[in-house]
Amino acid sequence: MSEIERITDQMTRAYEGNAWHGPALRELLTTVTAETAAAKPLADRHSIWEIVLHVAAWKRVAARRVKGETVKEPPEGDWPPLPAGGTDSWQKSLRHLDTSHRQLLEATRSLTEERLAETTPGTEYTLYFLLHGAIQHDLYHAGQVALLRRKP
């Protein structure tokens, strides 16, 4: 197995499932309703929906960086604002997250092993570091979602 294959395997496990640690980010979101996603059980913390938009935005940034673009922050901001609406809007946000994940996977699969050692455009770290960071980002936010899903 190549390093690119190992990275995409871990990326898939952290996001889609069959992860060693427990439920992956997307697994945790399958039963979340729009009402639960928008709820703020802790007033000074982000909602599940805000986390979904944040993760999707940064996955797109990572994919663009892998493709050679210099991107400092997502165009919609670090924590994009919630859209208006209910169930349809929530489902659209989930589809947006899935699309962003697929874009990052495709960009990663297009890399050569040698490119992993290249500096990520606009940063001081390598593409290898970026991709592992993207995996860790999913895991970090999966933990938050797991806690926010709990009933008080």
Q: Please, which residues have CB within 8 angstroms of residue 81's CB and are 6 or more apart in sequence? A: none
Average of per-residue pLDDT across 15-27: 94
DSSP string, 105-147: HHHHHT--TGGGGSBPTTSSSBHHHHHHHHHHHHHHHHHHHHH
Structural domain spans, the chain: 3-149
pLDDT digits (tens, 9 = 90+) for 73-123: 999 999 999 998 799 999 999 999 999 999 999 999 999 999 999 999 999
Percentage helix, strand, coil, to 5, in the chain? 60, 0, 40
Name the residue among 44, 39, 23, 52 with its Cα closest to residue 146.
Answer: 23
Q: Residue 151: pLDDT band by 50, 70, 90 thresholds?
A: low
Please state at what angle helix 3-15 crosses helix 87-109, rounded to 10 degrees: 170
Please tell me the distance from the alpha carbon of residue 64 to that of residue 107, in angstroms, as a whole number: 8
| Fold of the domain spanning 3-149 | Four Helix Bundle (Hemerythrin (Met), subunit A) (1.20.120)
Q: What is the pLDDT of residues 27-70, one digit of tens each?
A: 999 999 999 999 998 888 999 999 999 999 999 999 999 999 99
pLDDT for res 152 = 54
Query: Are the C-beta atoms of 35 and 85 separated by less than 8 Å?
Result: no
pLDDT for 128 equals 98
Identify the DSSP state of 77: -
137 class by beta-carbon count within 10 Å (0-12 exposed, 13-18 middle, 19+ buried): middle
Query: What pLDDT is stored for residue 55 in this prediction?
Result: 98
pLDDT of residue 124: 96
Q: Is the pLDDT of residue 21 over 90?
A: no
